[in-house]
Amino acid sequence: MMAVQQIKMVKNILAGNDELAARNRQYFQSHGILAINVMASPGSGKTSLITRTIASLGQGARIGVIEGDIAGSIDTEKVLEAGAVDAVQINTGGNCHLEASMIQKALESFDLNSLDILFIENVGNLVCPTHWSLGEQIRICLLSTPEGHDKPVKYPEIFAASDAILLNKIDLIPWTDFNRDFFYESVRALNAQAPIFELSCRSGEGIEDWVVWLRKKQHHVERTQASSIPPTPAG
């Protein structure tokens, strides 16, 4: 009885989340904003990817950031220093992932007409964020080489659900046992389509290819921007 009730409730909660996510997506789309859900383990380099991307885009795009963390505001300070137009910190307390309702609330703090790209840095976690749509048009998954080439086998869902996969900290490969062939084979078994970008957010190597891809996605959103009156986030 308990179990059945629990499953029903989880379904209700996820369905409610999907409704809010659809509203967020419409909101992004109507403002011509590309929203990117950045998912990875703790310490894979999500914030470094965002600051490197801001630097690489320069005046080419106006970036907003939503930072999701259990606690702290270190990353929000970092992305603002790096040149983000605006950034909002969400502290989830004990919650292991962001949800669409949190994004909806955070969007109230932004002037969306002043943004081209919105990075949403999820809580560091290779499992839970996969189940919660935030309304993003693109989901990316970062893996850092010291985490090991076997992560796609152990955490398949997140690699299967991502629109691009970024292999970070390639500068550390010489000092690890990372096996590129194993990594590529296991990712390709899960996700035949997503581009894989190898990069080092520390040295900057490989950032350009990622940014070229990102700009294409952003231009696509601009071209398909809905002409309808944007809904209010709370509406």
Tokens of 25: 């997506």
Q: How far is the CB of 31 from its own copies (least distance, A)?
A: 30
Q: Does 51 bind its own copies (CB under 8 A)?
A: no
Task: Looking at residues 194 to 233 of the shown chain, list those that interact with its own copies (rule: CB under 8 A).
Answer: 202
Q: What SS3 class is residue 98?
A: coil
**Sheet with 196-198, side-by-side order of all strands:** 86-91, 63-69, 117-121, 34-39, 138-144, 164-168, 196-198
Selected binder of its own copies within 14, 112, 153, 196 (CB under 8 A): 153
Q: How far is the CB of 24 from its own copies (least distance, A)?
A: 20
Task: Looking at residues 6 to 45 of the shown chain, list those that interact with its own copies (rule: CB under 8 A).
Answer: 6, 9, 12-13, 41-44
Interatomic CA distance for residues 139 and 30, integer angstroms = 19
One-letter amino acid for residue 202 of the chain? R
Q: Cα 31 to chain center, whole Å?
A: 19
The angle that helices 100-107 and 2-30 make with each other, rounded to 10 degrees, is: 30
Task: Looking at residues 93 to 122 of the shown chain, list those that interact with its own copies (rule: CB under 8 A).
Answer: 94-96
Part in contact with its own copies (CB under 8 A); list of ranges 102-110, 153-161, 191-199, 220-228: 153-161
Closest Cα partner for 162 from 69, 36, 44? 36
Selected binder of its own copies within 83, 172, 217, 219 (CB under 8 A): 172
Selected binder of its own copies within 24, 76, 122, 144 (CB under 8 A): 144
Tokens of 70: 């259990």
Interatomic CA distance for residues 39 and 124, integer angstroms = 7
List residues near its own copies by CB under 8 A.
Answer: 2, 5-6, 9, 12-13, 41-44, 69-72, 74, 94-96, 123-128, 131, 144, 146-148, 150-151, 153-157, 169, 171-172, 175-177, 202
